[in-house]
A and B are shown apart, each in its own frame.
Chain A
Amino acid sequence: MSGTVIALLGAALAVILPGIGSALGVGLVGQAAAGVVTEDPDKFGQTLLLQALPGTQGIYGLLTGFLIMQRIGVIGGNLLDLTTGQGLAVLMAAAPIALVGLLSAIYQGQAAAAGVGLIAKRPEELGKAIIYAVMVETYAVLSLLASIMLLFGLSL
């Protein structure tokens, strides 16, 4: 049973940490955006786009969490009985997206908030502001990929 608990812990962390990161990131961009919109209400649409960017890590985390649940049978209804080793393996598989998701969401939030500052001054540069923020996304995607590959590679 202990292995199953560890695997569940992995699922929980995969959802929790990127979720926290995304919340922080989105919140930060939201604050900066609110500042800009106070002075210039026309910028709402553009800033909203930037605010959404750090939200993706939370989704990746949730996706990974679902995958784990599906793999260990939480969703199917018949919970697998895992060994401690198998449980740790699942936890490890969750680690990339959990950690990278947390940090990349925060940093992406910072980049996006800076982007908000950029479009406050130069609205025509929205594309560039998005690109800068999206560069951070790469690493969240890579870690999601790693987590998924690990999960599918495990034989449970």
Chain B
Amino acid sequence: MRENDPGLTDHDFLGARAGEPGAFAAVVRSQQRLVYGIALRMLGDRSLAEDLAQEVFLQLHCNLRSIESTAHLTFWLRRVTAHRAIDLLRRRARVQWAPLAAAEELPAAGPQGDPLMEARLLREVSQLSPVARAVLLMRYQQDLDPTEIARTLDLSLNTVKSHLKRSLATLRLQLSAAEPGGGLVNHEP
């Protein structure tokens, strides 16, 4: 998910900046999946993610004039959403993923997915620190490379690489411990 959603045009973006009615709504519609997607996978709670996503767009409305392009908009949304989620997680007690018994509260597994494996993986991801979780999201949800992740999250490149390496090792260890017969292929981030 490297590019803006196809729905966001320069016309909508410039119109939103100029305060044209309906243009900001078009921006929200085109970017809501990006913002909510980051918020939900960071926080693990639909209503918290909804609140956070709404606040990000309210903040966007205030700061539109300082955003120069659609690419800048995407960068800004990722950055603000991730930072807000990290701050929220740090202020609150660690948010636990819903147990399997309440799995109907979470989005259904994707077409390729094993729902149990997915739930287990999400639970292990939720055990990571907020920053490590954000790094994983930027890499595997937003498809950013480590340099872009570093810019987005205000981290050094080495810190990003370290987080990725350690997080993957931790996840691999936890998942392998649960299923001794299921080895995971090792990939360098």
Same complex for A and B? Answer: no
**Which residues of A are in contact with B by a Cβ distance under 8 Å?**
none
